[in-house]
């Protein structure tokens, strides 16, 4: 729908304000509450050493990770919805979550790594990569074109296969392993450090720029591949690049934060309801909205039952789904 420019500007301002606010809230609240002044002092490198450590080494990387992962998932979800022309599409649709979880759970079950180890994200990333390659391999086999229907179907099937692998591993594991595996699968930003932020950023930020540059092509792809070609789009190239990059962004997020559901599905829809289906607006705003949403969800996860931390994937679903249903109902009525 074509809304006036001023309204888009307002949406941009609201979201930029929201992401800043979410960052500040997320850094202020936790086991130790800090004032805005204390946070700003710590960020300038002065104030108490404890505060500096909490702000700079613990909470900031975690909040930034939330923006990267949440934004990446929402962006990747918006891209998948356009490419598959399917409102049910989400970032994990090519079996990425299954592959990543299988990789992580296998490492945990073998006892090779602790939950905090660096090898865990690596295993998850390799698992996601295997899933992506498998799905691509199947969908590419017919005359070197990427068949969207095959992609979707093989993604679901590969995901189901990895789910079975996970079930098998878990059924053979002891209770503590099962617990850490299940918790990993529900997603958490708790292990974030500047190093892990740097790794995720190195996939997400360049990837996001590439996806944003494809926004016009995605607009026409959403009305059909054949027509997109007649409007000047190199359809096969766009499909490969977009699927590949959107999957990599999701995989990088999954590797470090586990499986965080619903962000990639509902955030693009919510943004679409606000600003319409033009991907030149939809994609960047989805990134900002997804990042904000995940940072706030992570804040809730930390403080609601403190000192116990709830998996953030639980919060995104518990809070996100009712909010989304409300939006959906409102948009149907208007």
Partner 1 sequence: MNFDTRKLVVRYRRRHRAALDGVTMEVPSGSLFAVLGPNGSGKSTLMRALLGSVSFESGDVQVEGRSVSTWSRRELSRSVGAVTQSETVAFPLSVRELVSMGRYPHLGPLGVERADDRLAIEEALRRCEAGNLAEREVGTLSGGEFQRVRIARALAQRPRALILDEPTASLDIHHEMGILQLLRRSVDDGMTVVLITHQLNLAARFADRILLLDRGEVAAIGSVSEVLREEVLEEVYRWKLRVRRDPEAGYLTVTPLA
Give residues in contact with partner 1 (CB under 8 A): 1-2, 81-82, 85-87, 142-143, 215-216, 219-220, 222-224, 226-227, 229-234, 272, 276-278, 280
Q: How far is the CB of 91 from partner 1 (least distance, A)?
A: 17
Q: Closer CB to partner 1, residue 112 or residue 230?
A: 230
Q: How far is the CB of 62 from partner 1 (least distance, A)?
A: 34
End-to-end CA distance of the chain: 13
Q: Closer CB to partner 1, residue 105 or residue 271?
A: 271
* C-beta separation of 270 from 55 below 8 A: no
Q: How far is the CB of 82 from partner 1 (least distance, A)?
A: 8
Q: How far is the CB of 236 from partner 1 (least distance, A)?
A: 10
Q: Closer CB to partner 1, residue 4 or residue 45?
A: 4
Q: Closer CB to partner 1, residue 122 or residue 222?
A: 222
Angle at Cα 233 formed by Cα 230 and Cα 234, nearest 5°? 115
Q: How far is the CB of 264 from partner 1 (least distance, A)?
A: 16
Report how far residue 105's alpha carbon sits from residue 157's, in angstroms, rounded to the nearest whole number. Answer: 19
* C-beta separation of 91 from 277 below 8 A: no
Q: Closer CB to partner 1, residue 33 or residue 232?
A: 232
Q: Closer CB to partner 1, residue 47 or residue 276?
A: 276
Q: How far is the CB of 280 from partner 1 (least distance, A)?
A: 7
Return the DSSP state at 93: G
Judged by DSSP in three states, 189 sits in: coil
Q: Closer CB to partner 1, residue 179 or residue 280?
A: 280
Q: How far is the CB of 226 from partner 1 (least distance, A)?
A: 6
Gyration radius (Cα) of the chain, Å: 20
List, in sequence order, the alpha helices (H) in 110-214. Answer: 119-140, 148-171, 175-186, 194-213
* C-beta separation of 200 from 206 below 8 A: no
* C-beta separation of 242 from 229 below 8 A: no
* C-beta separation of 91 from 78 below 8 A: no
Q: Is 213 exposed, middle or buried (0-12, 13-18, 19+ CB in 10 A)?
A: exposed
């Amino acid at each position: 729908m074509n809304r006036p420019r001023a309204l888009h500007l307002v949406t941009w301002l609201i979201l930029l304000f929201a992401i800043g606010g979410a960052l500040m809230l997320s850094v202020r609240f936790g086991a130790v509450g800090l004032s805005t002044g204390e946070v700003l002092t710590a960020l300038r490198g002065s104030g108490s050493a404890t505060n500096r450590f909490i702000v700079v080494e613990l909470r900031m990387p975690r909040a930034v990770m939330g923006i990267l992962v949440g934004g990446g998932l929402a962006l990747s979800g918006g891209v998948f919805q356009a490419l598959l022309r399917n409102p049910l599409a989400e970032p994990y649709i090519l079996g990425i979550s299954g592959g990543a979880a299988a990789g992580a759970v296998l490492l945990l079950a073998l006892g090779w790594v602790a939950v905090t180890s660096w090898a865990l994200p690596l295993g998850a990333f390799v698992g996601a990569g295997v899933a992506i390659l498998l799905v691509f391999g199947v969908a590419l086999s017919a005359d070197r074109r990427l068949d969207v229907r095959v992609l979707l179907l093989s993604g679901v099937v590969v995901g189901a296969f990895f789910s079975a692998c996970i079930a098998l591993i878990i059924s053979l594991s002891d209770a503590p392993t099962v617990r850490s595996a299940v918790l990993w699968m529900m997603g958490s930003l708790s292990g974030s450090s500047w190093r892990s932020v740097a790794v995720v950023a190195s996939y997400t930020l360049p990837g996001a720029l590439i996806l944003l540059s494809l926004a016009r092509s995605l607009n026409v792809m959403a009305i059909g591949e054949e027509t997109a070609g007649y409007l000047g789009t190199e359809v096969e190239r766009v499909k490969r690049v977009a699927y590949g990059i959107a999957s990599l962004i999701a995989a990088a997020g999954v590797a470090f934060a586990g499986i965080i559901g619903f962000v990639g599905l509902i955030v693009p829809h919510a943004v679409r309801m606000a600003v319409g289906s033009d991907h030149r607006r939809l994609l960047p705003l989805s990134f900002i909205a997804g990042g904000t949403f995940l940072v706030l969800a992570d804040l809730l996860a930390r403080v609601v039952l403190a000192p116990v931390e709830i998996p953030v994937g639980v919060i995104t679903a518990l809070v996100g789904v009712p909010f989304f249903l409300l939006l959906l109902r409102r948009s149907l009525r208007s």
